[in-house]
Amino acid sequence: MEMFIDGGWKPAASGATQPVTNPTTGAVIDTVPTGDERDADIAIRAADRALASWRAVPVAERARLQRRAAQLMRDNADRIGRVLTAELGRPVAAAVTEIQRSADLLDVYAEEGMRLHDEVILSNPGEKIMVRREPVGVVVAITPFNYPITLLCFKLGAALIAGCTVVAKPAEDTPLSTLLLAELFHQAGYPAGCFNVVTGKGRGIGMAMVNHPIPGKVAFTGGTAAGKAIAAAAAGTVKRVTLELGGQSPAIICADADLAKAAAAIARHGFANSGQFCYRVNRVYVESPAYDAFLSALLAEVAKITVGDGQTDPVTMGPMVNAKIFGNAFGQIADARAKGARICCGGDRLTGGLYDGGYFLPPTVIADTDHSMQIMTEETFGPVLGIMPVDSPAQALQLANDTVYGLAGFVFSGTLSRGLALAERINAGSVWVNDIHRSNHSAPFGGMKQSGIGREKGRYGVESYLEYKTLYLTYDEGL
């Protein structure tokens, strides 16, 4: 496939390409252009030309187009989902669900766009003060491999409904589904240049986009180190930024919690997408009287998880996306094992037959951990959970907050007042109490501390793509 720029398919200026690999088999399934600063400039200038007219399009028309794009996504969910499975390895049903839920988010953003309004501030006779909200401009959207469509739509739907235009740069592992999405938006009727997709290496074309003088904002989801580099570069031209970065999300299990429910929720959430997402449960603190019972319940739930080819088999988990992501998770297992933790299940790469083609790591539960171990202090981004006994909820809270991250947290308690008290004191952007489900499209999503800057989804996401402008009007009140 080629890049999608200014309403059409374009090769890289250099002619260079890079492979897209199926992580299940290791086979090359397609190639995409390896763009550089020349391609970044072409795409950004196309978006800038489109901005002049797009920002003047009535919000009602923007909302109509966005709903049309959402419906096209639903109509093509199976086709795009299968491409996503081929490039990511996630089972097809989950990939299709990602497309469908992303379409739902576009509809939410369309509704929020219809609620946008200017304000008039009461002032002196013969004066009017008008407060307008205008689009921030061209937006650079840089997204990771793990939920490439959802995390792009976090940015894309908010930016377009606000009157911005977008240049997206997907992850090197998963560009194909994003390119198909751009084609659907063009079919929906968006003017050329409103939504462009470039491909290439992050430190090449990605940083060229961040450093370009035209964009007014960079929206990035990815690792904390990369986010810091982007923020530093964006400061050079004082671009606005939204950064959704890494996480090391804690769960607290109180002794009086419903242990069966907690175990089922943590197994479901902690191993979804092979553990490759930033707000998954990473570490679990269990009050000592419940420790053995919870661990038994968790292992029973984990035993139900199946690992295999998500394209053809009815499995729960596919492979990890590449050697680097696998190596990080496997390194944390080795670190915990060397420091005396107990590997309760998993722990070794799966081999033989199908498994030899990709980086398959079974769901891994590590018990008897402590904060000397990487699994309890560093982001894993893989199907590995660390479990640690604690003497009290207060100790669990102290350990939960002993981190540079602050994306998500989870609390299970049979006493609602205790559960709420713990949730309120966890330093994280989102906290779930007594169950874990997907983040709501109308609620703000983002992190505290080094887990990011800003919020996405709902009206909070749309507002982050708007600038305030104050107009002072003086007029003659005479009739």
Q: Residues with catalytic annotation?
A: 244, 278
Q: Is 246 helix (H, G, I), strand (E, B) or coil?
A: coil
E strands of 143-183, at which residues? 165-169
Give the Cα separation of 372 and 369 in Å (integer).
Answer: 8
Q: Is 245 helix (H, G, I), strand (E, B) or coil?
A: coil
Give the Cα separation of 92 and 392 in Å (integer).
Answer: 42
Which pairing describes strands 342-345 and 364-367: parallel, antiparallel, or unpaired? antiparallel
Give the pair of three-digit tokens for residue 89.
């390895």
Give the pair of three-digit tokens for residue 150.
């959802």
Q: Which helix (H) or strand (E) holds 37?
A: helix 37-54
Query: To the nearest 10°, the Cα dihedral for 45, 46, 51, 52?
Result: 80
**DSSP string spanning 40-98?**
HHHHHHHHHHHHHHHTTS-HHHHHHHHHHHHHHHHHTHHHHHHHHHHHH---HHHHHHH
Report the b/e string of 231-266 with b at 16+ CB within 10 A. Answer: bebbeeeebbbbbbbbbbbbbbbbbebbbeebbbbb
